Copies of this chain bind each other. A is one copy, B any other.
Amino acid sequence: MAGMNQSAVRRVNTSVILRALAVSAEPTTLTALAGRTTLSRRTIELILDSLLAAGWVTELDRVPTRGCAGRPARRYELRAEHALLAAARITTEDASAVVADVRGRILGRAHRPLRRYLDPQASLDDVATLVREALADAGGSPERLRAGALAAGGAIDDDGVVRRLVHTTRWEGVDLPTELTGRLRMPWFADNDSNLGALAERWRGVAVDHENVVWAVLGNRTGLGILIRGAVHRGLDGAAGEIVEAASMPTDSVAHRPVSWLTSPEPARRSIALDRVAAARAGEAGALAEVDELVANIASILTTLSWTVAPSLIVLGGGLEDAADVLLPRVREALRAARTPAVELRATGLGRDAALVGAVKLALDRMDTELFGPLVPSL
């Protein structure tokens, strides 16, 4: 059981100040910080001194506050680029990497097809190269890069070890963080791309202010990411949200079918091509029927989730956002017809970058805990 001492207090309070600075893009004054936190002006002053010395913060020129009296306040600004974070993503075909600042602004990118997806070591070499390229693209120096996180498909446990991948067993047991830490000489973390998508939407996307969020990719590729009280919920062996995988198991292997989706006779009908969506927009009957079928399947999964996980928001991503105008109203209607709780349904606000942005957030969170210790829950 971990008690607290004065340096723990300082760690917490430093983190509070950094967060308060990160919230507003504008330069912030001491008094403003004192108003937003429960800390005294004097304490904030001292903490800012050390942050200034460490390079986390810059002090701007004083500017008279036009329109109201008083001595001009000192203005401080977070140097978001003081620490850079890397994020990478692997799919079966390609890999990509970004370098971002602690605000989540992407400063550099790199992307290429994977040479041999079935060879984990070679693929991780590719990832390391991509990260270096992204850093060069960002124009940052290697020592600025503090941590990184990898987004990948399949079941990845809390420690970033691959438990299971759909298409192959070659990756099973690969310790992604250790591999990348070895190659890039900094802390690395890893998680499933759906979990990271959810995390990203809550950080910089449409799920800001939502505590319980489900990120759903329902199509050819499937994946669910669940946030409960803001944190990724994996469940036993990472099974939480694998209802979509359960649903894609051969029908005859499932004695008790958890969702009616399972009774769908034609699993391949779960996706839809973009040109068919366009045809549906144009009103073509066959395309509309396909859309209805897809909508029914999506609604079935989401109904189950609404009665079990009961998120306040479900975010659709992974390409579904391109058909949002067609799909969303129909799915909403289906959910209403099923009398589910009034869950909000939206398309991703981050698009294809969601997993990468989520990886940046993961690296940031883990670093934060490492640097400043665990925080009080109210933060």
Q: Which residues of A contact B (CB under 8 A)?
A: 1-6, 8-9, 12-13, 16, 19-20, 36-39, 43, 212, 228-229, 231, 233-243, 246, 249, 253-260, 263, 296, 299-300, 303-312, 334, 337-343, 373-379
Contacts and interface: CB of A to CB of B under 8 A. Distances in A.
A116 to B, nearest CB: 32
A12 B20 contact: no
A270 to B, nearest CB: 15
Nearest to A261: B256
A309 B235 contact: yes
A3 to B, nearest CB: 4
A328 to B, nearest CB: 16
Given A212-B236, A229-B231, A1 B38 contact: yes
A256 B303 contact: yes
21 contacts: A1-B37, A1-B38, A2-B37, A3-B39, A4-B4, A228-B228, A235-B311, A236-B343, A237-B342, A239-B307, A239-B341, A240-B307, A253-B339, A256-B260, A256-B334, A257-B300, A258-B259, A259-B259, A260-B263, A374-B376, A376-B376
SS class, residues of chain A in contact with chain B: loop
Contacts of A236: 212, 306, 310-312, 341-343
The 5 closest A-B pairs by CB, nearest first: A235-B310, A239-B310, A239-B341, A243-B307, A240-B310
A338 B16 contact: no
Nearest to A226: B308
Nearest to A263: B260
Given A2-B379, A240-B309, A375-B376, 17 more contacts: A1-B16, A3-B38, A212-B233, A236-B310, A236-B342, A237-B341, A246-B339, A253-B339, A254-B338, A256-B260, A256-B296, A256-B334, A259-B259, A259-B260, A308-B309, A373-B376, A377-B377
